[in-house]
A and B are shown apart, each in its own frame.
Chain A
Amino acid sequence: MDYLINLIIFSLIYVLLAGGFNISFGLGRLLNLSHVAGYAIGAYTTALLSTDYQFGFFSCLILSGIFSMLFSLIIGAISLRLSDDYFAIGSLSFSFVISALLINWKSLTRGVLGIPGIPRPDIFTFSISDNLNFLIVLSIAVFLSLFFLNSVFKGPLGRSLKAQGEYSHALEALGVSSFKIRMYSFIISSFFAGISGCFFALYLSYIDPSSFSLSEMVFVLTIVIIGQPGSLLGSSLASFFLVFLPESLRFIELDPGILGPMRQLIYAVILFSTVYTRKASLFPIKRTV
């Protein structure tokens, strides 16, 4: 049972993380490769505030989202002025900056040693130290988040984002600033990266920089691509699918030396075949004036 709860918790954390990424990439086709950096900022914010300053659950959750949003404001102001491929490269470089800071700013992050012993603060009188209780709280947070995200997807911001992903000049010609729309999506997206980082840190009670590497970014990208960019239901189901899928390998008698690479290989094959079959819709040709 604990094993199943563990998998569901990880799946739900990815539902949140990929749901946020789905706003910028799924709707606006903004390949924001610094999304996991926002996740890291959320996780470290929670880790530091709850261990060093004994902050409560809600303070950690909200501040994780806010710090991640502030980070997105800085990188968005710079990299969102770049277009398409250049934006992806720009955002990736910021991701590396955060990664380098996590490793080298040892007085704050303890570098590669990571931060152990992150407590799970009670929510008023409700203890989340038990995994089942943690799952209940996470499920409520995911439900509320999906409700909000769904409203964004179907509202004016979602429409404008979708339009700018298809033909930004035509959107500008209707009086909508592409930069502003991208910035909003970037900020909202980062907020959800931040709060998923908070849940990740509280659940594992230990974080280090290796959890926020480029391969984690590729995993989130895989979730959104498999789930169909722009589909919240799709990315949510894909989160469960991709978390549970490699677990089936546990029941096959394989050498541990093969098992690890085998998981990566499965993800790679799935990602490649999905991109290959849907390449026209995933990366449509950009139209210009």
Chain B
Amino acid sequence: MLSVKNIHFAIGEAAILNGLEMSGKDGERIGIIGPNGSGKTTFFNCVSGFITPQKGEINFNGHSVIGTSPSKRASLGIGRVFQNFGIFRDMTVKENILIALESRDQNNLLSFKVSKEHLDEIDSLLNLVGLNKHLNSKAGSLSGGQLRLLEIIRLVAFRAKVYLLDEPTAGVSPKMKGQIVETLKNLIPKEALVLIIEHDISFMKDLCERIVVFDGGKCVLDGSFEEVRSDTRLQEIYFGTTN
């Protein structure tokens, strides 16, 4: 369970988050939409610990995480897919997942051998998304869609409890978009809380039972896909008019 209360974050005079309130339960799939500059990515940065809000509370499973480092939050289970790809491009596909597995199992940093369990797990995950033939390829040689898939399965390998997915389909082909949707549906455990930032509301239809709309650093709409889509305020937020 993640809850965010009255979060404020400003850069100089410019308020990015302005009293944002939101919560999500285990197993929920929540889509976050909103115009550019509405504070979506800043919200993710606050939750994952990369920036500290000037005011407000962030609670995860009943405990405040304000003031804790991003790595601490990640080890609690708050995982993140970055808008600009969080993949280590100079490393192989295998190494990218191995880092997540070794961190998850808190392997000794000076251990010299890769465990067979880890190799098997990498193999089965890559098989599921069709990346197994790229096992030893440099991640930088993958296409944009493949990088997204790799980043998602890396979080699955990490066994995150919360998935913060920042535009997971940005810059990928329509075909690959479909594969990403399927991967998100099938590989992310049912009990995990998933928050997805997307500009394409139709992408959320199959994926999210709840949509929240950000505007001006606040959550201004919250409801089911149909409720939000039919709300006249949505058009107003995006186009400044209801006509």
Report whether chain A binds chain B: yes
A interface with B by C-beta (< 8 Å): 151-152, 154-157, 159-160, 162-163, 166-167, 169-178, 181, 184, 284, 287, 289
* Closest A residue by C-beta to B42: A289
Given contacts A159-B98, A172-B70, A177-B71, contact A154 B103 (CB under 8 A): no
For the complex of A and B, the 9 pairs showing the least CB-CB separation, nearest first, are A170-B86, A175-B75, A175-B74, A172-B70, A157-B109, A177-B71, A173-B80, A151-B112, A175-B103
- Contact check, A166 vs B88: say whether CB atoms are below 8 A apart: yes
Q: Which residues of chain B have C-beta atoms less than 8 A from A155's C-beta?
A: 109-112
Contact across chains for B88 and A162 when beta carbons are under 8 A apart: yes
Q: Is the CB of B82 within 8 A of A159?
A: no
**Given A162-B91, A289-B45: A173 touches B112 (CB 8 Å cut-off):** no
Contact of A160 among B74, B99, B108, B112 (CB under 8 A): B99
- A139 and B200 CA atoms in complex are apart in Å by 63
Q: A174-B103, A175-B158, A176-B99 are in contact. Are A156 and B91 (CB under 8 A)?
A: no
Q: Are A156 and B108 in contact (CB under 8 A)?
A: yes
- Which residues on A sit within 8 Å (CB–CB) of B111? 155-156
Question: Contact between A169 and B102 (Cβ–Cβ < 8 Å)?
Answer: no
Q: Which of A169, A173, A178, A181 has the most CB of B within 10 A?
A: A173
- Looking at the assembled complex, report how far the CB atom of B67 sits from the nearest CB atom of chain A, in whole angstroms: 15
Q: Of B72, B82, B102, B108, which contacts A170 at CB under 8 A?
A: B82
Quick check: is B50 within 8 A (CB to CB) of the other chain? yes
Query: Is the beta-carbon distance between A172 and B71 smaller than 8 angstroms?
Result: yes
A157 and B99 contacting across the interface, CB-CB below 8 Å: no
**Known contacts A169-B86, A173-B70, A176-B99: A160-B48 contact under CB 8 Å:** no
B124 within 8 A of A: no
Tell me if B55 is interfacial: C-beta within 8 Å of chain A.
Answer: no
A159–B86 CB distance below 8 A:
no
In the complex, what distance in Å separates the CA atom of A172 from the CA atom of B72? 8
